[in-house]
Amino acid sequence: MPRGASERGISVGIHDLEVATSHFVVSLSELAEHNGTDPAKYLIGLGQREMSFPAPDEDAVTIGAEAAAELLARTGVEGITTLLFATESGIDQSKAAGLWVHRLLGLPASMRVAEVKQACYGGTAALQAAAGMVARAPQERVLVIASDVARYALDSPGEPTQGAGAVAMLVSAAPALVELDPVSGRFTAEVDDFWRPNGMLEALVDGELSVAAYLDGVESSWLDLAARGGPSVERLAAILFHQPFGKMAQKGLRRLSSVVGRDLDGAGNTAGEAINSRMGNSYAASVYAALAGLLEYGLGEEPLSTGDRIGWFSYGSGSVSEFLTGTVGPAATTRSGSGGIAAKLDARAALGVPEYRALHTARGETPEVTDRLLPRTTRGRFRLAEVRGGARRYEGV
């Protein structure tokens, strides 16, 4: 947010948000049995139960459009001047994925559309850019979509942490859901912990370095937040973490506990971890899917209350970290107990391990530029219908 915005009385933040995921789901218990792995390694060691997997006619565009369509059905499109699409599952080196979404949703022509990339931090980068735009022109609203398909090689250590999901957020002045605090803590350090060079569908990972870089980001971004006059940890009703897998969030909470010299176990958001454990890693959408879970399920048996302050840690490999805080608005109470996210996860079609492996292999063997017609598989309202001459054609239901 531009300096002085809060002093002018402009509150900016997330007015509404929505989650979407893929058509298929793979049980990690079944994957472990197939791999000859102790299921506890996935269920307890990683904290993961399931992973969303896209149908052949799904990708980051269709899943992101699904989340945005449901959001805009509630909020309308009036005043939306910008669409920012955050992803590390980009499908074109030039054309923003948001342009396909713009057409699918029938959004006004008098808009700007752009894609934002910085690993899993991209959703936060887009949110902060949107907040700056709204602070400058409070009558405008910005649609932020964070959407990703996390893909790793079959039989690799990263395979059970795959996933697919999207979060759409409407950023506005006088937000009803979460008002962003004017300061945040930031930390950047160039490291080769996770990267995906041009032409590769699957990321390369240095797992040990990635954990270390993530935890360094937790500590350094929190200390930067404190140095900038951010709220003390005692003022936070809940703290969320980017979750490449569930246990990583727990590691982050323990590192923060050591930094502040206080046991923060009660501040963790188990609802957010429960969603991630079923959806898998959704990269740029991950921490905001946890935010949706917190708003819907609250803190244990206690719902969030208007005025509660929460914090969340965003991390993107390579690496960029940010610790943000904000105040819960009145709309959060209407989301409590709705069960909407769980219903979406329950609605996925189960995919057996042999079928999953066949789809995974086929997707990897088909270059993105290969001409093809795709059969309808997804039950979602948007799908990839055809690739011709490298150009992609999407259609709505």
Would you please indicate which residues are annotated as catalytic (active-site) residues? 88, 120, 242
Dihedral sign for Cα atoms in the order 51, 105, 173, 133 = positive
SS3 321: strand
SS3 205: strand
Q: What does DSSP assign to residue 371?
A: -
CB 350 within 8 A of CB 27: yes
Sort residue 47 into left (φ over 0), alpha (ψ -120 to 50) or beta: left
SS3 272: helix
SS3 146: strand
User: For the chain, what is the radius of gyration of the CA atoms?
Assistant: 20
User: Token pair of 376, please?
Assistant: 């309808």
Dihedral sign for Cα atoms in the order 26, 268, 321, 80 = positive
> In sequence order, what are the residues at sequence separation of 6 or more whose Cβ sits closer than 8 angstroms to the Cβ of residue 339?
296
> Which amino acid is present at 242?
H
Dihedral sign for Cα atoms in the order 241, 246, 250, 255 = negative
- Between β-strands 178-180 and 320-328, what pairing exists: parallel, antiparallel or unpaired? antiparallel
C-alpha angle 119-55-95 in degrees, rounded to nearest 5: 45
